[in-house]
Structure 1
């Protein structure tokens, strides 16, 4: 993405400064918005091409005014004991930090699922005056206003709904921890407020369904379907 110099160097016009973000593997606009404590809508406004999808190593313009910059002050940690039905997403909302920030300071979460009773170290940014910066009304509203509701329609799938809102299947599960394996028509889901595409049903002319057999691993699936492990996970 090519961004004009004026867009990055004229904060006085809107009283907002900007910074750039290089997209990492597996990131979505929704996860990036949470990381910088902004909204998907704000990112799309600055990067309209992102509605067509973002690619690894692509560059996005982020409104820096919404960033909690830990380098501008100290960072302290609080210990959080995981309760029943809590998810990384719900915990991140409680402390107004990103899921990635929690994982960064609790490395086991990169390879293991969250467990009831587990103790996590949550980073809390503190500004130079000693005041915590994670509980302001502005940032809280920014986080909560980026989600909405979606009522499942006939022929819609989890994959299609996730694609519609520009998030991964894992993020859809984080937003809806009680979501079962089978998606029921009429179910109300928590989703990002901004749609990327208007179609959530799967095009049966381009896709077909395959039921994974018991004990069937990625190797056998790759041989049968002619897809890589990354392609299978993405679907």
Structure 2
């Protein structure tokens, strides 16, 4: 009986397959592929097999299914096989009921079940405004992937936009079709479909924000409608032109080749001018009033008296915090936004004062949150803090009570024997370095790089990366050797994705942009666009975070009606690369 049943099933299988493959179509139906349709959908709809579909549409092999593709669908009139009576009906799409779990969202479900957000919305109109825990929704039945981790440390995810092709995605994210196909196996079969979710390498996010692992487009003020046709602003910089002896070419060259207030002001100013060049192309008129503060209080008084007589949307500067505080304290200009442009040192919080540089306090707070997520009791934690950072050491010890303190010597160096004894082979070693001393930074990097070999793994963190790390002797190779990880308000410019910007700047000013010139460009570009789009600076804060070449801006209301920039980057050196990591 069992043997008979076995041969009966074999007969059905091969006979049905023979009919399906051997039959000549009686006719064809033309089908134009719609958004969200897949090969599984089509064969289910028309009651045919994948080989039959591909036989009369060979382009599917190389292109997959694409929206608006015209397909020839074969139509067969199946005859009943002799002796055996069978009834053949077209299968229809099947759905399952899914109960929404905590922390699930639509894009994760779309990825997990190989569907699109748009299709989920069409099947469940009640979820267009969002999902609710415990809610029961309809999802197309399919073979689904393993659910995405709550925090995916390796990949990001991207929602395909309408009419978006592989070329546009590569321009946005730097990910080509070959890599997309390897990370998303169903892509060869379906092609790109608006609303589908793609897996993307974690290090490639383009100019997008990362929200819950999904890449989200940032606010684009450049292409927004301008409410103001003309922007007037004043720039206060310590050019100190009165100190330059222009009669001596050699002395002038020597002065301008060194790092001082003259060169700092000129670099920042070049970035401002380059921003205005780009703004003018948008048809927006900008009037710039430039003042040399001469780093002198009497000169500042003269400038303030003149500012009162002018129409001014905002004031950028002075650069030096003490001079900035002196100007911001003037009652006659308290209603004009005043932006502290470059210094990380805090300024006095007063009405309409904007601290545009992310403060050390903000950076440390974010880093402590990150460290709490990536460090646990299964790791060997070592804290290296100098005498000026004892309070930070105390906070870290409270957060990680099992951590070991390694105190540096008076000459700002670490005893190699002590470092060797405190690091272990059996556990990952997480070292937190808290200092603004270059000698100690250089010594610590050398010591821990030497320890990071074989079975001993060492990673270095800091909650505040001061300017001491900008020393040219600290190479990317050294920092990348121990995956140096830190929070910062400025991300180094990537040449490959900013090639046109860098070359245009070099053609205009005769040298490549540095940190100060990029800061001048980003800051002024943001201030002008915010004011033009919203009519005034404070109203623009509702736009949230903006990003330009190397700087982000997310202003929040602070004490005394002042505002502070909370935006930052969490960066990690890996080899010779600097990558942004997820918070």
- Normalised to the residue count of structure 2, the TM-score between the two structures is 0.21
Q: Work out which structure has the larger RCO, using CA pairs closer than 8 Å and 6 or more positions apart in sequence.
A: 1
- Normalised to the residue count of structure 1, the TM-score between the two structures is 0.43
